[in-house]
Structure 1
């Protein structure tokens, strides 16, 4: 019987898990120590490409793990902070000489190589490390110093030994992501909206990028807001049915053309009369959906928009417009080509499973089908350009209207397991596991979100290029970026297929690399970063993010002092985006009425006595109202509107860097956008913006809403 450790997990399996960053235990909600089941550890290791199904495989994999870093000449990727001098190990045949140099990204003095990148030879340090025998070969380690004066950017590190040249990526990241000028000693505020739900009379049944532009202009001009934050606008499927959740995109890098305003594409204005009629006919079936209070019908909207977009795509473009399109295509490179290919292939095959020969994006079969579908590939490339242009317009108008940040975009934690990214990045995503979350107060069974996670070592071997390219596209035309579940840059809860969400395990990531690259790309884009750091986390994580200049998230209902009372405004974190609630909770009006309990009871999601939960909800509400009264924000027996406004004044009195006002709170909406733990039971991500009675509120009438005007005025004048 092999020696076992706590939880009945064999000692060697625990050691192997630790060697690959798989946590065998963690402190769960409430501080309880939770042991990962042995079967989970085996499944997670197998998903990482580490054989562990038998004791013999565990022993062999553990032996290999001891020598892993000695098998490669250079590390998979080297990530350093600006101003740090670091040591890089280089592994060669014992006794062999090695020459190591850097090719520097950026204009820096030095000898230029054939590709015009400055070259700098590295100095070997006098550090002795005992050689070891690896796979029958005696391997030595030489240590080289990476200089501290390298510029920010993506550099390449080279080593030449025994006639063979090795290369790896070296990334220099900012020590700290700076806040925008003027924000360091100030507090700015903005509006949070689910864009698909915020419609106008010109919309085609779903809020779009033109609606975002108008919303930003209105709240900036009329209320002085500094930003508008929206849900992820990432790509959905090219064919219906579309996945409703913006947090389960097919690709995090590219945009959903569902958000395109067709009338704002310049070529639409020059269509021939017959083609213009085709566009109008396409719109007819969905025009009336704008004022429909029922669930948003994305499928009908996409089919209508797609038909119209196909007409506009065929219209001639002016020379300058054509040149701009070609420049965009060249800039986005093979990533855009491959994404457009995926869209065309899925459209061509429909929902049937892909043949095995199409499972590899680089296969001859895919290349042949790309050629066969070249016109459709071009169409999907063009859609990304059109969406990117309208995204740029929204940010430009937001800044020109006086916003100091503009549009805050959102990055989902993962992607659809059958989507484009899962196909394109099959070599760096783990298989047969999904991302999730362990049990907490609001989800006692844990959560399984199905998205395939990055495989940490595979991502490092890829030089973090897929992660970098995704960030660059998401940060285009963005004043800020909210990173959903930023804790996933440190560790992610992996749930193997067929395993309950509560029985998953954490897998560690190289947070220094992932957070550093995030800061580097945000720095280059001139964007602020907000991390959603809610849930189960290790205490040092928030301090680390603050040290790197990444803002956290403070939700009023979750902020408590040591005695469980509402946290006083003065005690809020400085480096955070403070809000009253989140999109996974009912809006404040609904929360005050206990809708979070009523809804879960109706859906059969409760494992606790509902009357006890209602008592707790009333006590929570009463404690918050008392806190507001002590700050002078409400009088005796306040109305719902007075409490909502008082809650936002409460946040404005805090030192939080940013304060967010959910648009649903402004109009009195009571329905949640999303009820975690449900799929078909509740219309998640389909609820149009409405007032307290469920009547649709359009952008055209937004500033005529007395309740919204009152809340925005309260927020604007609170400090």
Structure 2
């Protein structure tokens, strides 16, 4: 390699003297252009997307349009928030990181137009309204056209394209929709023919249509999904695997610089002992199903592979305690799902205080990490890591610059640390060498992101659109929490000069 980029973003060219002596050792040099491996992508919440044709609630067709637009500007992959099935009894109106199931896609993400269903009436005002309308339309479609359940492509998908966990989950959903309470303890003993023979219905068709539309999107560019660390209860996963999910306590996080009070996330993690007794089958099935949906996975809060911070369901979050996980068993399952050609299918989010045993396993197996520059500018970046500036859990750059994010935290009762936020802003200013206005500040940070040593970097779409408020404030059932769509439609920001400028920075520094 005749040139490279240092961790601080400075480009270095090999000297003639260096070329002479290394050629004596290696023989005649052959220049190989590695720049094509340096890609950039974007992260987006499908729910927040809006287009002229959709119902005002982002769906998989909007995702395809978004990918088409940013793909023309140089993006080569995207990462999306979880698409899991919503729990109707979750304390959150809609929270992708508190799904009722991680093995089924929620109907709200299905595009009605792509499914061949004409939606009439005004655009829904909320996520819940959009979801109810879509479920009703799909049920009516299946009731009026039962022949669609007999189509060869659909039948082949049901018998060959679904995982065992999906078949059990869809069987249970269909039973519940008919007012029949499924006996979850009997599902494991049922054959595939028995699960399929119970009758394929609207929920099967919804899942089929969601996977078909997601596959169409993946034809444009790789799509990396997000695997939530926990599930809501009551919810389908908790009902199917009651002994493997710790429904008696909530997952959370102790206090830190961003949150002076410990967090309770209203989700439940794996029960270490119960999961071991079940032979880790639920964990393996969850991994396999999600890898079927996506080109790869970002494992959210991967520190839970070493230890989980749990808090009482009803009580003070200061009563939280750490519980160890079986790090060896869980990481070996992850390693077994890395592709044979060595390409990293899994990125581990290890943001927070590292757990020594987990760090040792991750380093030993060489598992790629999801890195967040805004969390630590001095961290060592590996070439195979996935690097971002911000994500759904951090302030947007505009919110950090204007301090609007801190004001929102105060309004939600989080009481964020003013001094910590100011220190973060000062550190980022030092990192980019100062900036007179937000555009300079944002451009400089994007240059640093693009120039880092990782092969893949990702930009947060909310940042690119200059949004001040993030879509999610961890541990809070109020606030935006994925209810607020993007301020502009895809058609409107296609011609946005700032979006184009940021894409150009990423493409130029990535060598495209």
Tell me the TM-score normalised to structure 1 length: 0.60
Cα distance between partner residues in 1 of 2:371 and 2:36: 18
Matched, 1:328 2:165: no
Unaligned runs of 5+ in 2: 1-32
| Residue in 2 that maps onto 1:468 | 284
| Residue in 2 that maps onto 1:529 | 346
Between 1 and 2, higher relative CO (CA 8 Å, sep ≥ 6) is seen in: 2
- Tell whether the 8 Å contact from 1:522 to 1:529 is kept in structure 2 after alignment: yes
2:54 aligned residue (198, 203, 222): 203
Which string of whole-angstrom CA distances, capped at 9 and with x for unpartnered residues, describes residues 379-432 of structure 1?
A: 21221111111111111222xxxxxxx111111011111000010111322341
Matched, 1:438 2:254: yes
- Tell whether the 8 Å contact from 1:205 to 1:297 is kept in structure 2 after alignment: no
Matched, 1:655 2:453: yes
Cα distance between partner residues in 2 of 1:705 and 1:495: 45
Cα distance between partner residues in 2 of 1:344 and 1:306: 13
| Residue in 2 that maps onto 1:544 | 361
2:498 aligned residue (707, 710, 716): 707
| Residue in 2 that maps onto 1:577 | 386
Partner SS for 1:283: coil
1:245 aligned residue (75, 82, 95): 95
Matched, 1:426 2:242: yes
1:557 aligned residue (357, 360, 374): 374
| Residue in 1 that maps onto 2:263 | 447
Partner SS for 1:678: coil
Cα distance between partner residues in 1 of 2:36 and 2:354: 28
Q: CA RMSD in A?
A: 3.2
Distance 1:245-1:431 versus aligned 2 partners, 3 A rule: closer
| Residue in 2 that maps onto 1:484 | 300
Cα distance between partner residues in 1 of 2:258 and 2:89: 34
Q: How big is the shift at 1:685?
A: 1.4
Matched, 1:284 2:121: yes
Cα distance between partner residues in 2 of 1:186 and 1:520: 24
| Residue in 2 that maps onto 1:380 | 203
Q: How big is the shift at 1:605?
A: 2.2
Matched, 1:494 2:306: no
| Residue in 1 that maps onto 2:170 | 340
1:602-613 aligned at under 5 Å gives the runs 602-606=411-415, 613=418
1:395 aligned residue (218, 229, 236): 218
1:687 aligned residue (477, 480, 484): 484
Cα distance between partner residues in 2 of 1:242 and 1:384: 23
Distance 1:432-1:397 versus aligned 2 partners, 3 A rule: same
Partner SS for 2:94: coil
Matched, 1:716 2:507: yes
Cα distance between partner residues in 2 of 1:253 and 1:334: 10
- Tell whether the 8 Å contact from 2:174 to 2:201 is kept in structure 1 after alignment: no
Unaligned runs of 5+ in 1: 1-181, 269-278, 290-295, 399-405, 562-566, 691-696
Q: How big is the shift at 1:530?
A: 1.1
Which string of whole-angstrom CA distances, capped at 9 and with x for unpartnered residues, describes residues 358-380 of structure 1?
A: 674529xx9xxx99x966x6221
Cα distance between partner residues in 1 of 2:351 and 2:340: 27
Cα distance between partner residues in 2 of 1:433 and 1:197: 30
Cα distance between partner residues in 1 of 2:67 and 2:235: 31
Tell me the TM-score normalised to structure 2 length: 0.83
Partner SS for 2:374: helix
1:416 aligned residue (227, 232, 240): 232
Matched, 1:256 2:106: yes
Q: How big is the shift at 1:453?
A: 2.3
Distance 1:618-1:358 versus aligned 2 partners, 3 A rule: same
Cα distance between partner residues in 1 of 2:436 and 2:214: 41
Distance 1:440-1:418 versus aligned 2 partners, 3 A rule: same
Cα distance between partner residues in 2 of 1:622 and 1:240: 38
- Tell whether the 8 Å contact from 1:204 to 1:283 is kept in structure 2 after alignment: no
Cα distance between partner residues in 1 of 2:176 and 2:122: 25
Cα distance between partner residues in 1 of 2:93 and 2:58: 16
| Residue in 1 that maps onto 2:5 | none
Task: Looking at secondary structure, tell me which structure has more strand per residue.
Answer: 1
Cα distance between partner residues in 2 of 1:473 and 1:484: 16
- Tell whether the 8 Å contact from 1:241 to 1:299 is kept in structure 2 after alignment: no
Cα distance between partner residues in 1 of 2:374 and 2:177: 44
Larger gyration radius, structure 1 or structure 2: 1
Which string of whole-angstrom CA distances, capped at 9 and with x for unpartnered residues, describes residues 80-133 of structure 1?
A: xxxxxxxxxxxxxxxxxxxxxxxxxxxxxxxxxxxxxxxxxxxxxxxxxxxxxx
Cα distance between partner residues in 1 of 2:392 and 2:166: 31
Cα distance between partner residues in 2 of 1:460 and 1:558: 34
Distance 1:449-1:359 versus aligned 2 partners, 3 A rule: farther
Matched, 1:638 2:436: yes
Cα distance between partner residues in 1 of 2:296 and 2:135: 30
- Tell whether the 8 Å contact from 1:468 to 1:521 is kept in structure 2 after alignment: no
Cα distance between partner residues in 1 of 2:312 and 2:283: 23
Distance 1:252-1:240 versus aligned 2 partners, 3 A rule: closer
How many matched pairs? Answer: 471
1:592 aligned residue (396, 401, 423): 401
Distance 1:198-1:263 versus aligned 2 partners, 3 A rule: same
Cα distance between partner residues in 2 of 1:507 and 1:341: 34
Q: How big is the shift at 1:590?
A: 1.0
- Tell whether the 8 Å contact from 2:266 to 2:475 is kept in structure 1 after alignment: no
| Residue in 2 that maps onto 1:620 | 424
Distance 1:527-1:304 versus aligned 2 partners, 3 A rule: farther
Partner SS for 2:297: strand
Matched, 1:223 2:97: no
Which string of whole-angstrom CA distances, capped at 9 and with x for unpartnered residues, describes residues 679-712 of structure 1?
A: 13x121112112xxxxxx1122332111101111
Cα distance between partner residues in 1 of 2:211 and 2:272: 30
Q: How big is the shift at 1:663?
A: 0.7
Partner SS for 1:451: coil
- Tell whether the 8 Å contact from 1:189 to 1:660 is kept in structure 2 after alignment: yes
Distance 1:335-1:676 versus aligned 2 partners, 3 A rule: closer
Cα distance between partner residues in 2 of 1:641 and 1:228: 24
